[in-house]
Chains A and B, each alone.
Chain A
Amino acid sequence: MIGQTGEGVYSSMREPGRVLSRHKNEEEPLLDAAFLRHLEQLQLICKKIFLGRMKGERRSKKRGVSIEFADYRDYSKGDDLRFLDWNIYGRLDRLFTKLFHEEEDLYLYIVIDVSGSMNTGDPRKSWFAKRAAAALAYISLAGLDRVCLVGFSEERYRWLQPARGKSRIWSIIDFLEQLPIDGETSLAEGCRRFALQQSRGGVVVLLSDLLDPAGFEEAFKHLLQNRNELYVLQILSPQELHPDMYGALRLLDVETGEPVEVTVTEELLNVYERRLRAFQAEITRISHRYGIHYLPIATDDSIERLLTSTLRRMGLIE
């Protein structure tokens, strides 16, 4: 398979069978300094309130130590005397303990589809996914949240332990860079394993092309466990959105090697694009049903605009 070596990536749809070197963008670091500075101004928003492990910048459901008052309760032995409300004791002569909203850290899970199909396109889908993942991870780390990365395909499942603190961005980038892109897609299986391993809820961002013959709905259900807030970014290459080919072809699936003989004509291209739109409409429909944030992205879109504009509009980032 093409993706196994990590090299020899098929990327240009116009030059069949030609093995190109990596796309020029891939020579660039996943994140550069200017981009990082820009990212620092962004932070994740979480619409739900999750239990954090450490005190972070997030308001926690737990009542804890912070400056934001939450409630009172009766004092019981062992409570911290510092949080007794002496004013009420003076008025009512009863001991009440002040309860505050505890500010906790947020868990961001970035789940990346690393199957062979992600290794196509110009710009390559996997590169786009990794860069987006790195950017999101950085934003998250900068906001003192915890970031957990998962890469999966049918054979592969890699998990990067939740990391916290900006300094961990390099280990995340290392992880991303060393993440091999090959194998068949099995969205449902990968997401099931993730759900089993995930101990705390948080924001889950799925980066995938969703081109799984078995479908995507089951995978969405797995990712929605633990009251996760799910963002699905469907990454497609321009060649998938608007195929630019013609003539008698034998289309080979890069994952399965399965051939499909087609004679590409204008008519067939029209049918294909109708099919693609129907596919995306189906995803949108299911996403609405489960309250999932769905965003189709083309790999030739600017990743900066994605982060600063599109995701901001969706409410993932502010």
Chain B
Amino acid sequence: MNFLAPFGFFFALFLPAVIILYLLKLKRIDQPISSTLLWRKSLEDLKANTPFQKLKRNLLLFLQLLIIALMTFAIVRPVLRLGGLQGQSFIVMIDASASMSAVDVKPSRLEAAKRKAIELVDDMSMGDRMMVLSFSANARVLTSFEQSKAVLKRSIRDISPTDAGTHIQDALRIARSASDVAVNPEIIVLSDGQFVIPSDISLGGGEFRFVPVGESAENVGIIDLVVRKDFTMEERYEILVGIKNTGLQEQEAYVELWGEGEAAPALVSSPTENTDVEPARALLDARRITMAAGASETILFKDPGNFPEKIEVVLDSGDVLEADNHAWAIVPQEKAIDVLLVSNGNYYLQRVLNLHPRVRLFTSTPLQYARPEEYDIVVFDSFSPPALIGGNYVFINAVPPLSDWSYGEALQFPVIVDWNQSHPLNRYLNYENLVISQCNNIGTPSWVDVILESRETPLIVTFQQEEIRGVVTNFDVYKSTWPRQVSFPIFFTNLINWFQSSEGFAQFMKRTGDVLVIDPPEDLTLTAQLIPPEPAGAQEIAFSGVNPVYFNQTTHRGIYEYRVGDQRRKRYAVNLLSPEESAILPKTSLTFPNTEIEGDEDAVEANREIWRTLTAAALLVLLLEWWIYIKRARYSF
């Protein structure tokens, strides 16, 4: 038994007070009698008696002491550990993250947690209220404080598992702000504890209890999946699969690579045109791996020919958590890059641009320059057009016709002092041997990215101004040693990839809980739909104007498909890929910055305050005392 208000024991000081009252202020009832003569003499005979002996025989005194004792116990708020809840406001937080789908407890951890939550609901006392939250990648308030057990049970049963990671911060903040306004709040977390508690979260007032769910730690999961270009210049993809055995025993597993859909051809005009035929699923590759406890392994799948658009990695390990045994990848369907070179003739540039296998190079003289919107990239050589529309531009020995840009006097042999090694344009290259005989002193806006810098002036900069994205090279390649250096073709390959980078892999590969940014179609009258993986149904997307829509319901792993009208626009592979979720060993305690909460499996056995019972008992004794007093007054005196 615990006492929530032990200072209430001071109330027990009333016990001696009552005894003192009995000794000092005994209220006597006036009783006229014929003569006090004999009584006086009788009292003299009784003088040996002490008041304490008299007190012992006074039932009323005992009853009054009992009342005070009961009241004292009520004031110190004792709690009994009974099979039920105590308090008045409960905030039940149910973990619905991917790891809660583990089936080490039947039927699953989430179902076990829900069952415990329903038991909590059943144990609520009259007047108790409960708030139900579920959390995975984000928090959801299923019911605010509610007294109806039926409503609470329904909302608890409605919690469905997700494949998302666990971010408890939001849920904790909601719970804390709710507990600030609640009466006698108690926060109960039903989870396997697989989450990181940020250091800025601290527990406020009120009770906090952690009910761990789950038993097993044995799991092998896919914790990483990367689709990337081969390091060589070849247009090959490779797939990296990171696998970890988070369990305590050695595990054997098969990693299978499945492909679905057409192979991504090198040069296809547009991916949006070939849709709707669901091609057969084919096993592309399979590996058998044996992993020690706690070991991680990375498996590399090289592109045998061309990967199909949709790749599924299946980890066949027979473990208890299914959510991390599948991962998907979308291999981008790449199209040809149309590049327009506006030049009076530049052999080096023509050669270097043609090196890129996907580039279709068009040339034009400055005088013929027109319709830049038809090209993916426009390269100006020693020429600057009078105005620019949105697009990708490269200025060689020229500056863009935009405000804040100026073109100054020529500069002989600028000394290269630095280049930005982390910039994608500078990947795999250095400028150490580059000699430039002449450049121009240019003025740039302050917000440009300097790629290559001389002591006096920037030599290569990149910029983005609204819809205009560009690279400015402030020297004529003929007046440098650059075309004969290895950095020259690498730079231009990087440059073309950089312009295409917004169409990179990252936008196809998402994690559960990530936000999908969906751009509106050109024709807003068409029906736009996002089709999540089974079992959820298609969701219609309503755009307002040209603003993109942010879709955050990526709670399940799988392929999310964005369709406009009948055509497929884009597909997203949403995967769990979370080492935290794959490590399913249930935690036995939660560590908060200011405290440590021990897990309590039997959270359903809750503390129950019994002050009400005690107060009621005190009241009953008070009535009894009154009744005895009255009865004596009527019959005994």
Report A's interface with B, CB cutoff 8 A: 2, 10, 13-17, 116-118, 120-121, 125, 185, 209, 211-213, 237, 239-240, 245-256, 258-263, 265, 267-268, 271-272, 274-276, 279
| B42→A251 contact, CB < 8 A | no
| B31→A211 contact, CB < 8 A | no
Report B's interface with A, CB cutoff 8 A: 26-43, 45-46, 49, 54, 57, 632, 635-637
User: Bound complex: CA of A10 vs CA of B30, how far in Å?
Assistant: 12
Residues in chain B near residue A263, CB distance under 8 A: 26, 54
Residues in chain B near residue A120, CB distance under 8 A: 32-34
| A2→B40 contact, CB < 8 A | no
Nearest Cβ on chain B to A220's Cβ, whole angstroms: 17
User: Bound complex: CA of A253 vs CA of B38, how far in Å?
Assistant: 11
Partner of A125, one of B29, B34, B38: B34
A265-B57, A267-B46 known; A245 and B39 CB under 8 Å?
no
Nearest Cβ on chain B to A297's Cβ, whole angstroms: 15
Residues in chain A near residue B34, CB distance under 8 A: 116-118, 120-121, 125, 209, 211, 237, 240, 253-254
Nearest Cβ on chain B to A81's Cβ, whole angstroms: 64
| B26→A17 contact, CB < 8 A | no
User: Bound complex: CA of A240 vs CA of B32, how far in Å?
Assistant: 12
Residues in chain A near residue B49, CB distance under 8 A: 267
Residues in chain B near residue A252, CB distance under 8 A: 30-33, 36
| B46→A248 contact, CB < 8 A | no
Residues in chain B near residue A13, CB distance under 8 A: 33
| A2→B32 contact, CB < 8 A | yes
User: Bound complex: CA of A267 vs CA of B632, how far in Å?
Assistant: 18
Q: Nearest 4 A-B pairs (CB), nearest first?
A: A211-B35, A117-B34, A250-B28, A120-B34
User: Bound complex: CA of A13 vs CA of B29, how far in Å?
Assistant: 13
Residues in chain B near residue A260, CB distance under 8 A: 36, 39-40, 43
Residue picked from A120, A212, A249, most chain B C-beta under 10 Å: A249
A272-B42, A275-B45 known; A16 and B37 CB under 8 Å?
no
A209-B34, A268-B46 known; A262 and B39 CB under 8 Å?
yes
| A261→B46 contact, CB < 8 A | no
| A271→B637 contact, CB < 8 A | no
Interface of B is mostly: mixed
| B637→A14 contact, CB < 8 A | yes
User: Bound complex: CA of A255 vs CA of B33, how far in Å?
Assistant: 9
Q: Known pairs A16-B32, A260-B36. 16 more at Cβ < 8 A?
A: A16-B637, A118-B34, A211-B37, A240-B33, A247-B29, A248-B27, A251-B33, A252-B30, A252-B31, A252-B32, A254-B33, A271-B42, A272-B42, A274-B42, A275-B42, A276-B38
A14-B637, A260-B43 known; A272 and B38 CB under 8 Å?
yes
| B38→A265 contact, CB < 8 A | no
| A271→B46 contact, CB < 8 A | yes
Partner of B29, one of A213, A249, A253: A249
Chain B residue at minimal CB-CB distance from A276? B38
Nearest Cβ on chain B to A299's Cβ, whole angstroms: 11
| B36→A249 contact, CB < 8 A | no
Residues in chain A near residue B31, CB distance under 8 A: 16-17, 245, 249-252
Residues in chain B near residue A118, CB distance under 8 A: 34
Nearest Cβ on chain B to A98's Cβ, whole angstroms: 57
Residues in chain A near residue B41, CB distance under 8 A: 275
Q: List 7 A-B contacts (CB under 8 A).
A: A16-B30, A17-B30, A17-B32, A211-B38, A247-B636, A272-B39, A279-B38
| A213→B37 contact, CB < 8 A | yes
A250-B28, A265-B57, A275-B41 known; A245 and B636 CB under 8 Å?
yes
Residues in chain B near residue A116, CB distance under 8 A: 34
Nearest Cβ on chain A to B51's Cβ, whole angstroms: 9
A265-B57, A275-B45 known; A248 and B28 CB under 8 Å?
yes
Nearest Cβ on chain B to A295's Cβ, whole angstroms: 19
Residues in chain A near residue B28, CB distance under 8 A: 248-250, 261
User: Bound complex: CA of A195 vs CA of B39, how far in Å?
Assistant: 32
User: Bound complex: CA of A284 vs CA of B36, how far in Å?
Assistant: 21
| A262→B38 contact, CB < 8 A | no
Residues in chain B near residue A237, CB distance under 8 A: 34
